[in-house]
Amino acid sequence: MPKALSILLCLPLLFPWTVQGIGDSAAYFEKHIRPLLIKHCYQCHSHESGKAKGGLQLDSREGWSEGGDSGPAITPGEPSHSLLLKAVSYKNTDLQMPPEKRLSTSDRDHLFEWIAQGAYDPREAPTSNSKPESNVVTSDFWSFRPIEKSQKPPKNNGGDWSHGPVDQFLAKEHQAEGIKPAPDADIHTALRRLWVVLTGLPPSPDEIDVFLNDDSVNAWERQTDRLLASPRYGEHWGRHWLDVTRFAESSGGGRSLMFKEAWRFRDYVIDAFNEDIPHNDLIREHLAGDILFQQDPLNAPRQSERLVATGFLALGPTNYELQDKELLRMEVIDEQIDTMGRAFLGMTLGCARCHDHKFDPVSTEEYYALAGIFRSTKTITPGNVSGFVETPLPGPGYAAQLSYERELEKRRAQLAFAERKNKAQAKKLKKAIEAFKKTAPPSRPKVMSVSEEDPKEIADCHVHIRGAIRNLGKPVKRGFLIAATPKGQSPHPQLKATASGRQALSDWLTHSGNPLTTRVYVNRLWHHVFGQGLVRTVDNFGRTGETPSHPELLDYLASEFQTTGAWSTKRLVRDLVISKAFLLGSNYGAESGDPENRLLARAHSRALSAESLRDAILQIAGDLDLAVGGLTISKFSAYDNGYKFGEFRRRAVYAPAFRNARLEILNLFDAANPNMTQGRRTRTTLATQALFLMNSPLVIAQAEAVATQLADVHKSPITRLEAAYRHILSRGPTSQEREVALTYLAESSDDQAWTALIQTLFASVDFRNLH
Amino acid sequence: MSFAQPTRRQMLQQVSCGFGGLALAGLCQGKASPLSPRLGPGQAKAKRVIFIFMQGGPSQVDSFDYKPELEKSHGKDYDFVGVRFGTFGQASKRKLMKPLWDFHQRGQTGRWVSDLFPEIGKHVDDLCFLHGMHTEGVAHGPSTLFLHTGATNLVRPSMGSWISYGLGTENQNVPGFITINPADSKGGPRNYSNAFLPAVHQGTAIGSAGQSAKNARFRNIVNQHWEHDVQQRQFALLQSLNRAQQAQRPSAVANDPTEAMIESYELAWRMQMNAPGLTDLSSEDPNTLANYGIGEKATDDFGRQCLLARRMAEEGVRFIQVNYSDESPTPRWDQHSNMPKHLEHARATDKPVAGLLADLKARGLLEDTLVWWGGEFGRTPFSQNNDGRDHNPRGFTVWLAGGGVKAGLAYGSTDELGDTAVDGRIHMHDLHATILHQLGLDHEQLTYRYAGRDFRLTDVHGKVVHEILA
């Protein structure tokens, strides 16, 4: 065997015990070790280079004996326990040094010998050696302070802005800054805004007339209540929450596996918004629905819902084919922690996987305290391409299936026992099992969920030094973020031996003293109603996020939401849309001293969401199918690539939402990235969007349908134009628009001029924007 | 244009205007468009990248990494440490398999290239071989994502998006980052996605894997319904109505979204007038077509892709990716069995790639175009299923050409058997850092703040490999 081949072999390092002159340690060090360390290590691990990567310095005895983040680099006399030798052996992919080039066999042999002989080292550390301190911020930051529960709406001198707390808080700031609010929006604009904000769809001309003919004093409230009760509300607001939960129906990553039952999570969310499930219950279900369900599988309320809800933890983007399964496990946990943190706490916790958070009070220990909870939770199942946990859905026949499965398991255990002891009996048992299998009740659908790990796997997690999965530090007791733990509560719950800690985590999140959860949630609602949050960085309440424009108002809303609001989403949304502030016009006066409109002296203009844009075009053309819920993947296969969406005509929220394939219009018009929590969509204005509206056969076909329908009813160009505007823009044309359009029609010899005109209205800025 | 070293202050200015993205657009007057072309803080040797992606993992020991020892040890059993599920971290005996093709020294520099790539072999004096490559992931998905985004699992922007973000584009009428015939699987769109970077930096896919390159076109760029003059009148109507609507909403803010929307229609119209021509090869000289192998059965398709790449390079597209991909469960170069099939893939790509190199050189484009040829990983020197080879992320070869890298260099090496990179080791992060460096970008400075953290292509890793730079 060629000598150099030995470096390929995974044998223990063979040491040639033939080195001459070992007795002279100093000479050995100077001859073999010092030059080697200078040549290969000092560049990144010495005072001279100013670098101590991984916290390690190798230019003094103190440097290596104290070691870096991973502990001492060398244990004198014990080469096999010395990290340095592990690193140079290149056997652990997380620990390979030097990174560019493996040391020669003889260099490695010299290191082995040196350490084996006691690691003589005359080098002393420079006196100024000081390691950087951990920089965890102990926080007095606004979002971690307790919610101020005694906020009272500031009274003002009556008038339009005195009717509700929202308006009173806003008016106070207008007055303080000397800003005069914009005049109210005209009634057509306001009504279109209400419809799109609550349902994602504009009103039809008939609906506009119904509202305009309602003379009652509370016509606006009645309209609001009607829309809140419409199934369209849950579809639209459920979509907002699906953005936060990075919902998708496939895994993304390498082989993007389809999730056949994920639609149940989507429907669960839509239903929860339509039924107005209290938000604290929703959080508990998302994180611990399986546990709540298991506590009383046959009688508890919302059994299926609770199980399906844990899809929140399971539906993330996961590369199931990662071959390093320990890495995969930690990646899944990281994704769960990060999503949970952003969705409920407005915190980016992922940073603390490798180091203490640089800006927010989250230490690596706290990260791994949470990681212990999710590591004690089963999310994936083993395999070359791993799988995910699936649980039969409760419902009729569930009890029968449960007892069947228990019986089957019992018999299989008996069989396994017999196979070792008594072959004849085993044969008999096997036959009986086959017969028993025929009595299986009809199988229940299985949903993606999580479950508590096997008791032997439930444990606290070790810190992973610098995030490396095979470089373990001390174990950390499972628990929560200390800075967000209310006074008098412990960040480390008492846990039963079989409990992961998820239920305790959900209780901690929904505790009335948690400073983040309700602030984050009411701000999300505000964001969707007004177009911008009081905190505009809705997913980031940390130091790198923005601070609230109206802190007192935010605390008032958060506090009321927990108490009199009973965690009801509809109630708060209703309060917001019936405010005076919601009715403001969006035109800015040049005199405004608040160009970003933080004080809400006018309405924010915003782009129609991708879903609304598409659904509205289809609805106006009479082509929108308003069927509710259910599986919509027309052809299920293992992977999502190459999926054909065909002529999908239901609301966009129901379109198969694959991570690698979506409706084209969703990709083009800034639909939420399904790979991460995105409570605030980005707004882009791109030529590709323009090209879609100008050239897509879908848009032209819908325009043609609208043109045909209008031509049947309205013969005169003027009334037809009026109707087209009311259908598409919820208003009539201005005189200037009328003139431009009629001139175009008059000059157009093409018999499809009306189609071209309707298409143009779909592409116009007033259709794409909500004012 | 000055090539003097920028001062720290200038650099910071450039960072805040050039790299700050949309959020800062309002602060940087005159640099309002995130796509307007700009220089990175360093000295750029290359203006653009053409990445020829050999999907599936071509075998280094059968192509560019000559290992006489493997030849001699054919059929012998050796212990290799497993990197896959089931064998992770354990050593097991595997049977060595010699290269299936003969190697010859080629060019003035005498670089070894096997008979798989005789045409590329003629260009060795222009190539810079990196024999000590290693990467992350073992399965195609994770490694392919790592190659494109620097992450096996987490969702990160693609390299082309980072480059577009850093440098903008030289031609506002065509996208700055184009990928030709990419696969839907193995990471699919994530391989050219902007992730959290502003959407303007998203890669534009034309065509899709397994489809004829003749059909590779921009989406929605052609109107099938309206005659040109009808659409021209319709476009005038659209902008008149838009202006009328805008007039009803006087705007006090500088960054008026309505104005941006109206401008986006103007740009769309210009693109519609210009971009379709980019994918139209009818104006090309017959000799050029022949040099790319267009018209020959085996090479026609990939030849078209390579020629498209040259046309895009000429038009100022910043990052062009040519994909040798299909949509089958195992990608093209993925010969877990039947290694002789490598020849089919070599035949399909050898002449087109050589044609591209020659064409770029003849037009003076090779100087400032960095060409990168390679797969997501290499293959093992031992056999699998008798006549195949398994994935090998521990050691493999890619080559670069042009764009300020040393021509005729062979840098780094694997061990005697061609299995593990042991010398001149270049991690995929290092390759990313080096490519950015050639474009004048510093991989440690090219950051984007997302959700409270600064992200970069190379995460906290990566080192520019100065040894390979001319």
Angle between helical axes of A205-212 and A717-729 (0-180°, round to 10): 80
Looking at the fold, whether B142 and B263 belong to one and the same domain comes out as no
Looking at the fold, whether B229 and B365 belong to one and the same domain comes out as no
Side chain identity, residue A428: K
Residue B6: inside a domain: no
Chain B closest CA to A696's CA: distance in Å? 6
Looking at the fold, whether A334 and A414 belong to one and the same domain comes out as no
Residue B19: inside a domain: no
Find the CB nearest B422 among A101, A744, A757: A101
A750 contacts in chain B (CB < 8 Å): 230
Looking at the fold, whether A483 and A349 belong to one and the same domain comes out as yes
Interface contact flag, B185 A256, Cβ < 8 Å: yes
The predicted structure's pLDDT at residue B255: 53
- pLDDT tens digits for range B148-172: 999 988 889 999 999 999 999 888 8
Tell me the residue range of the domain where B239 lies. Answer: 221-278
Nearest-by-CA chain B residue for A679: B451
Tell me the residue range of the domain where A298 lies. Answer: 277-391+450-510
Distance CA A140, CA A623 (A): 54
Interface contact flag, B153 A757, Cβ < 8 Å: no
Looking at the fold, whether B206 and B258 belong to one and the same domain comes out as no
Residue A724: inside a domain: yes
Q: CB pairs below 8 Å between A and B: how many? A: 277
Looking at the fold, whether B204 and B157 belong to one and the same domain comes out as yes
A757 contacts in chain B (CB < 8 Å): 237
Find the CB nearest A545 among B80, B247, B452: B452
Interface contact flag, B451 A342, Cβ < 8 Å: yes
Give the up-direction half-sphere exposure of residue A276: CA atoms within 13 A in the CB hemisphere.
14
Sign, CA dihedral A655-A661-A666-A671, equals positive
The predicted structure's pLDDT at residue B253: 52
For residue A102, give the nearest of B461, B412, B398 by alpha carbon.
B412
Residue A246: inside a domain: no
Find the CB nearest B267 among A595, A675, A687: A687
The predicted structure's pLDDT at residue A10: 36
Find the CB nearest B184 among A90, A101, A660: A660
Looking at the fold, whether B236 and B369 belong to one and the same domain comes out as no
Interface contact flag, A540 B233, Cβ < 8 Å: no
Nearest-by-CA chain A residue for B420: A8
Domain count, chain B: 2
Vertex A602: Cα angle to A596 and A606 (nearest 5)? 70
At residue A250, what are phi and psi to the nearest 5 degrees?
Answer: -155, 170
Per residue in A471-499, is it b (16+ CB within 10 Å) or e — as a string? bebeebebbbbbbbbeeeeebbbebeeeb
Strand partners of residue B133? B396, B426
Looking at the fold, whether A344 and A206 belong to one and the same domain comes out as no
Mutate to test the interface with A, among B184, B246, B263 (most CBs of A within 10 A): B184
B244 contacts in chain A (CB < 8 Å): 734, 736-737, 740
Residue B349: inside a domain: yes
Chain A closest CA to B184's CA: distance in Å? 5
Domain boundary among A583, A610, A630: A583
Interface contact flag, A8 B189, Cβ < 8 Å: no
DSSP state of A441: P
The predicted structure's pLDDT at residue A442: 81
Residue A614: inside a domain: no
- Parallel/antiparallel/unpaired status of strands B426-427 and B127-134: parallel
Cβ(B182)–Cβ(B190) below 8 Å: no
pLDDT averaged over 10-residue windows placed end to end, chain A, 771 residues:
41 38 72 86 84 84 85 86 85 77 85 88 68 48 92 84 93 91 94 98 97 95 98 98 97 88 97 98 97 81 91 94 90 95 94 82 93 97 89 81 85 87 87 90 87 94 88 93 92 94 97 97 98 95 91 97 97 98 82 80 93 98 96 93 92 96 92 92 87 97 97 94 97 96 90 94 97 91
The predicted structure's pLDDT at residue A9: 39
Domain boundary among B229, B244, B278: B278
Interface contact flag, B237 A771, Cβ < 8 Å: no
Distance CA A163, CA A583 (A): 14
Query: What ipTM goes with this model?
Result: 0.81
Chain A closest CA to B22's CA: distance in Å? 10
Residue B24: inside a domain: no
Strand partners of residue B372? B51, B400
Distance CA B9, CA A553 (A): 41
Chain B closest CA to A592's CA: distance in Å? 8
Cβ(A396)–Cβ(A321) below 8 Å: no
Looking at the fold, whether A362 and A223 belong to one and the same domain comes out as no
Cβ(A677)–Cβ(A667) below 8 Å: no
Distance CA B124, CA B108 (A): 8
Looking at the fold, whether A377 and A481 belong to one and the same domain comes out as yes
Interface contact flag, A323 B186, Cβ < 8 Å: no
Residue A424: inside a domain: yes
Interface contact flag, B451 A348, Cβ < 8 Å: yes
Map tokens 């859905």 to a residue: A393
Q: Which two tokens stand for residue A57?
A: 């310095």
B425 contacts in chain A (CB < 8 Å): 99-102
What is the distance, to the nearest Å, from the Cα of residue B162 to the centroid of all Cα atoms in its chain? 12
Looking at the fold, whether A466 and A546 belong to one and the same domain comes out as no
B260 part of contact set with chain A, CB < 8 Å: yes
Interface contact flag, B222 A692, Cβ < 8 Å: no
Domain count, chain A: 5
Find the CB nearest B246 among A334, A697, A765: A765
Interface contact flag, B189 A660, Cβ < 8 Å: yes
Looking at the fold, whether A347 and A462 belong to one and the same domain comes out as yes
B388 three-state secondary structure: strand
Chain A closest CA to B329's CA: distance in Å? 9
Nearest-by-CA chain B residue for A760: B238
Residues with Cβ within 8 Å of A749's Cβ and at least 6 positions away in sequence, in order, are none
Residue B105: which CATH number? 3.40.720.10
Q: Is A367 exposed, middle or buried (0-12, 13-18, 19+ CB in 10 A)?
A: buried
Question: In chain A, how many H helices and how many E strands?
Answer: 30, 12
Looking at the fold, whether A525 and A435 belong to one and the same domain comes out as no
Distance CA B182, CA A480 (A): 43
For residue A530, give the nearest of A585, A595, A581 by alpha carbon.
A581
B453 contacts in chain A (CB < 8 Å): 348, 350-351, 544
Looking at the fold, whether B114 and B200 belong to one and the same domain comes out as yes
Distance CA B232, CA B272 (A): 11
Map tokens 């990174």 to a residue: A99
Give the CA radius of gyration of chain A: 32
Cβ(A178)–Cβ(A592) below 8 Å: no
Cβ(B351)–Cβ(B293) below 8 Å: yes
| Long-range contacts of the stretch A713-717 (C-beta < 8 A, 24+) | A717/A742, A717/A745
Residue A435: inside a domain: yes
Residue A218: inside a domain: yes
Find the CB nearest B141 among A254, A342, A539: A254
Looking at the fold, whether B172 and B252 belong to one and the same domain comes out as no
Chain A closest CA to B127's CA: distance in Å? 22
Looking at the fold, whether B368 and B403 belong to one and the same domain comes out as yes
Would you give the end-to-end CA distance of chain B in angstroms? 22
DSSP state of A768: H
Residue A168: inside a domain: yes
- Parallel/antiparallel/unpaired status of strands B453-455 and A380-381: unpaired
Looking at the fold, whether B332 and B435 belong to one and the same domain comes out as yes
Looking at the fold, whether B123 and B189 belong to one and the same domain comes out as yes
Map tokens 């006087």 to a residue: B250
Nearest-by-CA chain B residue for A332: B153
Cβ(A685)–Cβ(B260) below 8 Å: yes
Looking at the fold, whether A313 and A340 belong to one and the same domain comes out as yes
Distance CA B299, CA A271 (A): 55
Looking at the fold, whether B461 and B393 belong to one and the same domain comes out as yes
C-alpha distances (whole Å) from A706 to each of A701, A728, A761, B261 are: 9, 10, 11, 24
Residue B23: inside a domain: no
Question: In chain B, how many H helices and how many E strands?
Answer: 11, 19
Looking at the fold, whether A420 and A502 belong to one and the same domain comes out as no
Looking at the fold, whether B102 and B144 belong to one and the same domain comes out as yes
What is the distance, to the nearest Å, from the Cα of residue A240 to the centroid of all Cα atoms in its chain? 12
At residue A585, what are phi and psi to the nearest 5 degrees?
Answer: -75, 165
Residues with Cβ within 8 Å of B209's Cβ and at least 6 positions away in sequence, in order, are B181, B182, B183, B184, B323, B325, B326, B327
Looking at the fold, whether A39 and A96 belong to one and the same domain comes out as yes
Residue B17: inside a domain: no
Looking at the fold, whether A286 and A315 belong to one and the same domain comes out as yes
Residue A480: inside a domain: yes
Interface contact flag, B155 A384, Cβ < 8 Å: no
For residue A565, give the nearest of A190, A166, A195, A239 by alpha carbon.
A166
The predicted structure's pLDDT at residue A13: 38
Distance CA B185, CA A385 (A): 15
Mean residue pLDDT across chain B: 89
DSSP state of A671: P
Helical (H) or strand (E) element with B270: helix B257-278
Give the B window 404-463 contacts with A, CB below 8 Å: 415-417, 419-420, 422-427, 449, 451-453, 460, 463
Q: Which two tokens stand for residue A287?
A: 């994180």
Residue B15: inside a domain: no
